[in-house]
Amino acid sequence: MKRVAAVHDLCGFGKASLNTIVPILSSMAIQVCAVPTAVLSTHTGGYKDIAVRDLTEYMEEHINHWKKLNLSFDCIYSGYLGSPKQAKIIKEFIEYFKTKDNIVLIDPVMGDDGELYSSITNEMVLEMKDLVSHADIVTPNVTEALMILGKEYKEKEDLLYWKEILINLAELGPKKVVLTSVKVFGNENVFTLAYDKDLNKFYKVETQHINISFPGTGDTFASIMLSYILKGESFDKSVSRACSFIYKLIEEGKHHVEDIREGLPLEMFLKELILDDYYLIDSKEL
Ligand code: PXL
């Protein structure tokens, strides 16, 4: 069984972070070993008076125990961080647990729609940029990508501009880059773009834009993509499968979720994910 070290927070209510990562990877027969970065009563997407416990100090003890146990992982997968110092802890984790065969996926969870999440500081953006340079694969949305590159937020651009952004991100270190929530001039759809530096290939997956933003969608996307990669699916197919399933979840979410803050209706459709029983939108070369 493949094993993933998942360095993410736990939000008690509202499907995001470990509440989506654990069910997705587990149902795809991948073992999740959590390194919790913070515990929150809810995610920060629309709730007030959130209770938060940052686990920066605790994380080192947690990881030290794992070192004594001589554990090994097929993937190191990080997301939302509780403090900028956690980026350094994760870099050390990567240095210790990285092998020539395992993969490092960094999802630089920081914001969406041109805004940083309320808990994310400028220091965090700089630390995240540094952390991204240690990744094999990164999965920012447009907001996160432009923040990392120190560029001003653009809601729409042409595909050549976004291609350049993929290249700029790969220049930081990662061999594979996935850019989500991409909008293009003269087109009402939404694109997910991917770049495989080793193959020098660019891919795009185009889906109809549904104007609802469920918190936790990025975590769900990255976890589905990672599940397929670990199952041996090709990079571009893994991206297109994740896009297809996310599209299905958003579409179903319109009918099944009363309060969008609760997140995507993941539990209702996990079975379809496991059985590959959903409409596949193919990727095209860009
Ligand atoms: O889904 C990303 C995420 C993770 N963790 C926390 C968040 C969010 C997005 O809002 O607030 C705490």
Average pLDDT for the chain: 97
Give, to the nearest 10 degrees, the angle between helix 266-274 and helix 18-27: 30
Average pLDDT over residues 202-226: 97
pLDDT of residue 118: 86
Map out the domains of the chain as residue ranges. Answer: 3-285
Q: Strand 52-54 and strand 75-78: pairing?
A: unpaired
pLDDT of residue 268: 97
Question: What burial class does residue 40 get, using C-beta atoms within 10 Å of its C-beta: 0-12 exposed, 13-18 middle, 19+ buried?
Answer: buried
- Token pair of 96 as six digits: 């210790």
Under the banding of pLDDT at 50, 70 and 90, the label for residue 257 is very high
Q: How far is the CA of 218 from the centre of ligand 1 (A)?
A: 9
Distance 217 CA to ligand 1 centre (A): 10
pLDDT (average), residues 149-174 = 98
Q: What is the mean predicted confidence (pLDDT) over 4-26?
A: 97
- Report in angstroms the alpha-carbon separations of 211 from 61, 101, 176, 190, 214: 43, 40, 28, 10, 10
CATH class of the domain at 3-285: alpha beta
Least confident of 26-35, 97-106, 114-123: 114-123
Q: What is the mean pLDDT of residues 96-118?
A: 96
Question: How many Å separate Cα 89 from the centre of its chain?
Answer: 19
- Indicate the pTM of the whole model: 0.98
Mean pLDDT of 26-37: 98
What the block records as the tokens of 142 is 């447009």
Is the CB of 144 within 6 Å of ligand 1?
no
23 lines ligand 1 (CB under 6 A): no
Using CA positions, which residue lies closest to atom 8 of ligand 1?
A: 43
